[in-house]
Amino acid sequence: MPLKADTICRDMLVMEVIIRKNGEECGLVAARIVAKCLQEKEKPVLGLATGSTPLQLYGELIELYRTGTISFKECTTFNLDEYVGLDHSHPKSYHRYMADNFFGRVDMCAENINIPDGTAEDLRQTCQEYETKIEQCGGIDLQILGIGSNGHIGFNEPMGSLSSRTWIKILSKNTIKDNGRFFKDAREVPRHVITMGIGTIMEARHCLIMACGWKKSEAVKAMIEGSVTAQWPASALQFHRRTTAVLDEEAASLLSHREHYAWVEENMMPWQTY
């Protein structure tokens, strides 16, 4: 009797490491993982990320939608984070990013889209309501993540709590510098954000984390092969029930056990493959 997707997620305690040549190939693998979730779940709940890394994934998902392979009509989404103080139409807001790069190009129902409101009058209340809504939807089936060069996931910066919930966070100087490339000047990057906490992320049934480029290699090594520590927030995923890391060659360049990860992928059971 074949295992159902929910059973697979509950029974697997593993970090899968998938290494591909470049970002394009990473996007193809990640898209197959998302498509599998959409096809196996009647009303799937996706956690979505922003930034440069997921763009290849979103492009592949849009193409799968255009060919009729997948649909997002029954899907509910929760974005990881949003800047505090940026209007939803601001060109650098994550509301705008998602509309331009994904939501406006597939058949998502607007009422099923959830993004933290960084313009809310009461930021604390909106964080609590976000947590409640995730719970009311039955939790997140597949959480898409990127990783910062300092190891942050969402906007959970180093030395923060590894059990935090959705809340208002202060960006580190490193993240402000990294995100400055999306603005005319790093001084324009907001200092505050709303982000899902690591505790929230860890409750997703499956986490899919993508990393491309050599700038992410140190953080990737710490996440997969290092100690679990608040110094590298993504390392908390070592305790997650099912995490899949999809990496390009440069991001994986510092890993010590690449042959092992390739061996594991080659010998997966049919229901484990993508």
Residues annotated as part of the active site: 81, 150, 152, 157
Q: What are the DSSP calls for the chain, one per residue? A: -PPPHHHHHHH--EEEEEEESSHHHHHHHHHHHHHHHHHH-SS-EEEE--SSTTHHHHHHHHHHHHTTS---TT-EEEESEEETT--TTSTTSHHHHHHHHTGGGS---GGGEE---TT-S-HHHHHHHHHHHHHHTT--SEEEE---TT--BTTB-TTS-TT--SEEEEPPHHHHHHHGGGSSSGGGS-SEEEE--HHHHHTSSEEEEEE-SGGGHHHHHHHHHS--BTTBGGGGGGGSSEEEEEEETTTTTT-S-HHHHHHHHHT--GGG--
Cα–Cα distance between 55 and 71 in angstroms, integer?
18
**Is residue 10 within 8 Å of 254, Cβ to Cβ?**
no
